[in-house]
Amino acid sequence: MESSWIALALLHYVVDVHGIISVHQPTLPPVGIFLLLAMLPGSGRVTSGQRLPSRDEEHYLYQLRHSEVFYDTRRLPDGREMKIFLPRNDTQRFYFLIKEDGLPLSFTVTPCTRRPIQWRLLYQQYPTTGLRRGKRSGSDDELLLQGYKAGITNKGYRYIILDTFLLGSRTKYTIGQTISGLFTLEFTSTKCATSLEIFGTSFLENDPHPDLPRDSQVTVTQNPDRSLTLSWKRSPSEIQHGQNIEYCVATNQVSNIASQCAALTYARGDRSSLPPHVGFGFSWEKKYKNVSILPEPPPGHINYRCVGRKTTLTLGVLSSGNRYFFDVYAVDRRLNTSSAYTGRSMKVKARRTKLLKDGKMRTTLVSESLPGYYRLHHGDGSRDLLILVDGCQKAIRVDVSRNGRLLNGSTIADNGQVIFRYAKAKKGTYLVTVNAVSGRTTANVWYTTDEYSLPNLWLPENNKLYVDANKTTCHSVTISWAIGFKQQLQQQQQQQCIYIRKIPEGDPYKQLDLSDDKRCAVRRRLPKNERKVRCVQLHAGHVSVHRETIGELRANTAYAVTVYATRHSSYPWLSYQTVLVNTKDNC
């Protein structure tokens, strides 16, 4: 068998940059021939029991240590993936030598771009001394009878076209049994300059790419808060290689990306990966090297991240109404190879926003995973804008944005309120997002351009009703409660109404929801099953505690008393906590 480094030297000097490679025995003086034969190991005899190895191990190990040899000779090593750079409107050829008949052969080509790449797989008999014009070989005739087409280079060398591809994703070409000869992979890129990953082997079981599970689909789930959760099944190679396998995720809004190297190209740009010492110094090689290493800028916006061995990833809140494309790659860090899962796409559902009208309050039920969205359109840039949010029972988070840009955010403690004031607010669409810090709760949302029309949505921190036991009689009770006004708003007033309801005998008190904080309990109208005692008008500056006596009650009877407050009778009513009272049975 020929020595690997001698074969490399021979192959390099017969590369035809204008046509297909032709391998022929160079014209050597007789002394040179004898010297060459003397250097060939095992050239004396090959016994019948010997079998030539299907892979040139010396050549493989040599190229493993000296990758520049590949870029000089264009000969693909058996069992190692190589990366090449293909300039735009340029054709490049790479070669794979099979020295035995009957061996299997497999090529895997991975483009590092979304755009299609043209490539052909060609065959020439080896050695090719009989492939001159006018001469045929038995191998060629056999392939031609099978329907393959033949071609002739501009220098008269014949080749067989095994297949032609328009490559947009990873393509694998496998031959069960080959005829010994030279296989040529010819690539042409007309759309863009790009990189390619090429893998060739005569061992079908020698595939360095991570295996994918039978169900290689990426699952995408949309969460109520417009975040998305991606999940996928583990690569079977993880069992074999363990820590060497990790997963990377690419997200963009253009299309799915069928390979990891394409995702990296779109995230970081593409440039030649030629080693620094490539080439023998010929002028055309230096010119080609200078042109081919010009970097390609990143052609699109893409989010690329690696998540280790996790098989789920939750993406943050995405823009509603937009379609996103998701791809997952299993990456073998030991061999620097990867395989792409079947990508998915999803259009993020538009969030349901409710319209706020000037002076009209809206009440929303929100949870940690289900925010409330309210929009308002402000068209007068000369007027102030006030947005008020009243939290009920639990802490809430409030964010205000204009035309997609965040303006303010605030976390409101339990039973708190917040007012956002924008002097001469800019025109645009404002979005108010209300979200519970934990659990579920309710909130009131309101806006106005007139400060004096603000409704009295707030109640004091202490919103309980107190019974004066010393003044309770058989036919009357006296209750008191705190009055609350916002200090930053002037000329405030509110109307408060006292309602009472008789509790039937045998009705257990536990059926009354007295433990809940009803400071934000909103009624569109006053209840009909309760008797109104009276209503009072209160103004800012009045006493902070108000006291009322309710008469005309029955002796030894239980009543439920509630106070409702509002800014105006046309606005919703807010409720103080209900209190139970009992009149005396003996006076």
Q: Is the pLDDT of residue 192 over 70?
A: yes
Strand residues in 17-141 grouped as ranges (E): 82-86, 90-98, 105-111, 117-125
Residue 185 banded pLDDT, cuts 50, 70, 90: very high
3-state secondary structure 165-206: EEECCCEEEEECCCCCEEEEEEEEECCCCEEEEEEEECCCCC
For the chain, the C-alpha Rg in angstroms (whole number) is: 41
**The two structure tokens encoding residue 567:** 């800014």
pLDDT digits (tens, 9 = 90+) for 115-163: 788 889 999 876 544 444 444 455 555 555 455 666 665 555 677 888 8
Q: What pLDDT sits at residue 371? A: 85
Q: What pLDDT sits at residue 132? A: 43
Q: Is the pLDDT of residue 297 over 70?
A: no
pLDDT digits (tens, 9 = 90+) for 425-446: 999 999 999 988 888 888 888 8
Q: What pLDDT sits at residue 48? A: 36
Q: Is the pLDDT of residue 22 over 70?
A: no
pTM of structure: 0.55
Q: What pLDDT sits at residue 578? A: 86
Alpha-carbon dihedral 32, 35, 36, 39, rounded to 10 degrees: -170
pLDDT-above-70 percentage for the chain: 68
| Mean pLDDT of the 4-31 span | 34
| Mean pLDDT of the 47-76 span | 62
Most confident of 156-170, 203-217, 312-326, 532-546: 203-217
The tally of CA atoms less than 13 A away on the side-chain side of residue 406 is: 6
Instruction: Indicate the angle between helix axes 57-65 and 4-12, nearest 10 degrees.
Output: 70
N-term to C-term CA, the chain: 124
Cα 248–254–257 angle (5° rounding)? 40
pLDDT digits (tens, 9 = 90+) for 366-414: 888 788 899 999 988 888 999 988 877 788 999 998 887 889 888 887 7
Q: Is the pLDDT of residue 28 over 50?
A: no
Neighbour tally for 143: CB within 10 Å: 20
- Regarding predicted confidence, which is higher, 348 or 306? 306
Residue 516 banded pLDDT, cuts 50, 70, 90: very low
Helices (H) and strands (E) in the chain, counts: 8, 35
Residue 516 · residue 468 · CB < 8 Å = no
Residue 551 banded pLDDT, cuts 50, 70, 90: very high
Q: Is the pLDDT of residue 351 over 60?
A: yes
Return all residues near 223 (Cβ < 8 A) that are at least 6 apart.
229, 314, 369
Q: Distance (Å, rounded) from C-alpha 323 to C-alpha 312? A: 20
Q: What pLDDT sits at residue 376? A: 93
Q: Distance (Å, rounded) from C-alpha 312 to C-alpha 310? A: 6
Residue 250 · residue 267 · CB < 8 Å = yes
Q: What pLDDT sits at residue 232? A: 97
Residue 430: is it exposed, middle or buried by C-beta count within 10 angstroms (0-12/13-18/19+)? buried
Residue 286 · residue 197 · CB < 8 Å = no
Q: Is the pLDDT of residue 559 over 70?
A: yes
Q: Which domains, ranges and CATH numbers included, belong to the chain?
A: 4-201 (2.60.120.680), 219-257+302-347 (2.60.40.10), 353-453 (2.60.120.380), 466-582 (2.60.40.10)
Q: Is the pLDDT of residue 307 over 90?
A: yes
Residue 533: is it exposed, middle or buried by C-beta count within 10 angstroms (0-12/13-18/19+)? middle
Q: Is the pLDDT of residue 21 over 50?
A: no
Q: Distance (Å, rounded) from C-alpha 522 to C-alpha 489? A: 22
